[in-house]
Chains A and B, each alone.
Chain A
Amino acid sequence: MKLLTHNMLTSNIIKGVSNGFPLGIVANKVEVKDVDFNQSFVLKTLSKVDWNALRQAATQVGHGDGLPEELGEDLKENDDVLKKIHNAMLQVEVVEGELVCPETGRKFPISNGIPNMLLLEHELQ
């Protein structure tokens, strides 16, 4: 699970959960995969990302170094920072671990890099 994917997941599919974001991360195994850097793609994708949640997730899994607290206007000119963001967003992957619903504590296992968000019948909205 890439942190970009984590940024789009919520547990509000559970009955009674209103927001369910961001999901907590328990990371037992983290890997960094090589993904081609593409400046305009990173900028475009970043516009739909909740930056605080991404930075927090990266920090939780030990890859938050050098990520700015806020995204400035001058990001386009700063390839160094963009490459760090690219790394956090697309290269860092949680291979084994858990996602945790911030409201109910319900755990969603991540195994072999794949988060399992399937719910039981009685948990559904």
Chain B
Amino acid sequence: MNTSLYCHPHSTVNFMLVPRLRYSIIMAAARKPMRLKELEGYLQDVEVFENPKVKLEQYPTTPHIAACMLHTITSTYDDLVDKTVADLGVGCGVLSVGASMLGSGYVLGIDIDEDALATCSANLDEFEMTNIDLLECDVKSLASSEVVNRLHGKFDTVIMNPPFGTKHNQGIDMVFLQAGLKLSTNSVYSLHKTSTREHILKKASDWGVDVTVIAQLRYDLANTLKFHKKKAVDIEVDFYRFSHKR
């Protein structure tokens, strides 16, 4: 898989082999921040979509990108340790598992697809993650301004790799973002296509939230999801932090 992320000066695209040790034993031994490489090593053991559904844009965040994102979220912004976190479009759970490993107090993973949630649940068992809960629900229903949902304002941090939207559901990533901003009291971390950057920066300013493009990365979509039978196409993706003004 061809991915690279320029968010961390020490990150490289080489995978390091980390022996499969029980994570809980390690955490019991030392509760200090986990190194980036170590995190990435664990995340390689997260099972991915068995039969990805193209319509739902079920391609996983690669272990490398997930580790870089989460490592930045905790080391630069301190938005994971002892925080309540929601993961929108949790899929098979790579972001949630990583967030929990880095010290989140409680994580709620939300997805519309029960097959993805079943794989995710198996991953949580395998990793012995007990502070992650899952919910089958349409994220669109959480973005509405008319209905005050009880989930609104209950999370410190929202993390997500949303569907980017296709011909049929253009703008779904913005709906995810709206839901994320409603659920969180502090910040939302998300990925969006670089080609839509201008639009997103404008939306963020319309909504009155602060926004930072943390990194630009290449995401080999065609390889993660058998989209087109043609050759692999990297797409450029931005890693964002949105935060409510204080």
A residues with a Cβ closer than 8 A to B are 1-2, 4-5, 7-10, 12-13, 21, 33-36, 38, 40-41, 44-45, 48, 90-91, 93, 112-119, 124-125
Determine chain A's interface SS by DSSP, over half rule: loop
B118-161 residues with Cβ-Cβ distance < 8 A to A are 118, 121, 130-131, 133-138, 141, 144, 146-151, 153-154
Contact A124 B141 (CB under 8 A): yes
Question: Is B36 an interface residue, CB under 8 A from the partner?
Answer: no
Interface residues on B, range: 20 to 34
Contact B147 A13 (CB under 8 A): yes
Docked Cα-Cα span, A34 to B24, in Å, equals 12
Question: Is B112 an interface residue, CB under 8 A from the partner?
Answer: yes
Q: A1-B133, A35-B130, A118-B138 are in contact. Are A8 and B112 (CB under 8 A)?
A: no
Question: Is B45 an interface residue, CB under 8 A from the partner?
Answer: no
Determine chain B's interface SS by DSSP, over half rule: loop
Beta-carbon nearest neighbor of A12 in chain B: B147
Residue among B112, B134, B150 making CB contact with A10, cutoff 8 Å: B150
Contact A35 B131 (CB under 8 A): yes
B3-28 residues with Cβ-Cβ distance < 8 A to A are none
Question: Is B108 an interface residue, CB under 8 A from the partner?
Answer: yes
Residue among A5, A91, A112 making CB contact with B135, cutoff 8 Å: A5
